[in-house]
Structure 1
Amino acid sequence: MSDVRPILDGHNSLIVGIANDQSIAYGCATAFRAAGADLAITWLNDKARPHVEPLGEALGAEIMAPLNVENPGELEALFDQIGARWGRLDSLIHSIAFAPKEDLQGGLLDCSAAGFARAMDVSCHSFVRMAKLAAPLMKDGGTMFAMSYLGAERVVANYNVMGPVKAALEAACRYLAFELGDKDIRVHPISPGPLATRASSGIKDFSRLLNDAASQSPLHELVDIDDVGSACAYLASPYARRITGGTIYIDGGANIVA
């Protein structure tokens, strides 16, 4: 990504959700770093750390820390660390989602109440909690991103419980954009086309989604993590200072095709 201009010089960005070098969050991290941003990144747990920490080191991340949003106190500790080290934050990227496998792979009617609640907490409400902690650090304004998918607004076979959950996430982004707009904080729900990430491996017949996306989108190409990262870097820059709240599709135009 050597052709990216340093449009984010002096920018501090927290990127949550890197699992490996195929993660959407990693595509965002590389794009933001190439654009001049300083990075804070997280890993989920001790099992994930050996896969994520070397990526952060290679990117020169100034802050690296564990974050499991289901563990009490970890989110607050992370933002305390950011406040102590940087004193401010310019962007937040939330790229995490989870549903228990048995609830994800069954239809919505068969999803348990506990599984639905857990999917909603990790995949949606954690973004609201992050936004509440991030906003006071965005002293000169900022940008928040949450990763969604087309299944939030139309039925996608086998997406199941994650459809309603992502719909809630997009709605949360709209309401946060409204509430935080007077602080010059912009909020973007990002809807990439299907990507072959570790998270997507839990979706039944995911390869069919990839094939359909490539064949049906106007550009007839799949997007990749660099496409998502570059678009988010632009949206975090002053060039996009009047854009907020609406879902941004990075899918080769697939969302316009019935």
Structure 2
Amino acid sequence: MGLLSGKKVLIVGVASKLSIAAGIAEAFYKQGAELAFTYQGEKLKERVEKMAATWGSSIVLPCDVASDEQINQVFETLGEQWDGLDILVHSVGFAPGHELDGDYLASTTREGFAIAHDISAYSFVALAKAARPMLQGRNGSLLTLTYHGSQQTLPNY
């Protein structure tokens, strides 16, 4: 029996076995949590399914965090399998690659900046809103991650 025994956890943003989200999944699994995962695009589906299986999970759902419809579908589907949710892990970050090249002021556009904030930050709010009904009455937790660039200035970030 681990600290998270019986807890139901949705992890959004596992992209590879080296990702921070994968480390969180491993730690939560070792503490007894029941895990579910999302993936971004068909390209990642099989990879995330294989990783999920190593943590005893067959719940792997598509989710483009830029789509409220897909976010809502994740929780609708999850609600059919689980009676609630104890922890939501948000490990998502993205900016268009061309926005990160060269001189920051020359490379950054209003559109690219908006995309980066929508995917990297607002998606946490959108996921939390959609998760709220499943979290209620469970003393649930929301966990999101940040990047070193939030602590100090980094070239091209």
Query: TM-score, normalising length from structure 1?
Result: 0.57
Q: Are 2:60 and 1:94 equivalent residues in the alignment?
A: no
Instruction: Report the equivalent of 2:43.
Output: 47
Instruction: Report the equivalent of 1:142.
Output: 140
* Bigger Rg over Cα: 1
Residue identity matched to 2:152 = R
Q: Are 2:15 and 1:19 equivalent residues in the alignment?
A: yes
Question: C-alpha root-mean-square deviation of aligned residues, in Å?
Answer: 1.4
Instruction: Report the equivalent of 1:84.
Output: 80
1:192-231 mapped onto 2 (5 Å cutoff): none
Residue identity matched to 1:116 = F
- On the 8 A contact 1:38/1:62 being kept in 2, the answer is no
Aligned-pair CA distance for 1:61: 1.2
Instruction: Report the equivalent of 1:121.
Output: 118
Instruction: Report the equivalent of 2:70.
Output: 74
Query: Could you give the per-residue CA deviations for residues 20-70 of structure 1, whole angstroms, max 9, x where no partner exists?
Result: 111111111111111000001011111111211111112111421111112
Query: Could you give the per-residue CA deviations for residues 190-221 of structure 1, whole angstroms, max 9, x where no partner exists?
Result: xxxxxxxxxxxxxxxxxxxxxxxxxxxxxxxx
Instruction: Report the equivalent of 2:25.
Output: 29
Query: TM-score, normalising length from structure 2?
Result: 0.92
Structure 2: tracts of 5 or more residues without a match: none
**Cα distance in 2 for residues equivalent to 1:6 and 1:80:** 28
Instruction: Report the equivalent of 1:63.
Output: 59
- On the 8 A contact 1:68/1:74 being kept in 2, the answer is yes
Aligned-pair CA distance for 1:72: 4.7
- On the 8 A contact 2:49/2:58 being kept in 1, the answer is no
**Cα distance in 2 for residues equivalent to 1:67 and 1:146:** 17
**Cα distance in 1 for residues equivalent to 2:92 and 2:44:** 14
Residue identity matched to 1:117 = A
- On the 8 A contact 1:17/1:95 being kept in 2, the answer is yes
Residue identity matched to 1:86 = W
Cα distance change of structure 1 residues 149 and 18 upon mapping to structure 2, 3 Å threshold: same
- On the 8 A contact 2:61/2:74 being kept in 1, the answer is yes
Q: Percent identity of the aligned residues?
A: 37
SS at match of 1:73: helix
Cα distance change of structure 1 residues 134 and 71 upon mapping to structure 2, 3 Å threshold: closer
Matched positions, count: 155
Residue identity matched to 2:122 = H
**Cα distance in 2 for residues equivalent to 1:80 and 1:107:** 43
**Cα distance in 2 for residues equivalent to 1:70 and 1:13:** 21
- On the 8 A contact 2:90/2:145 being kept in 1, the answer is yes
SS at match of 1:47: helix
Question: Using CA pairs below 8 Å that are at least 6 residues apart, which structure has the higher relative contact order?
Answer: 2
1:120-199 mapped onto 2 (5 Å cutoff): 120-138=117-135, 139-158=137-156, 160=157
SS at match of 2:35: strand
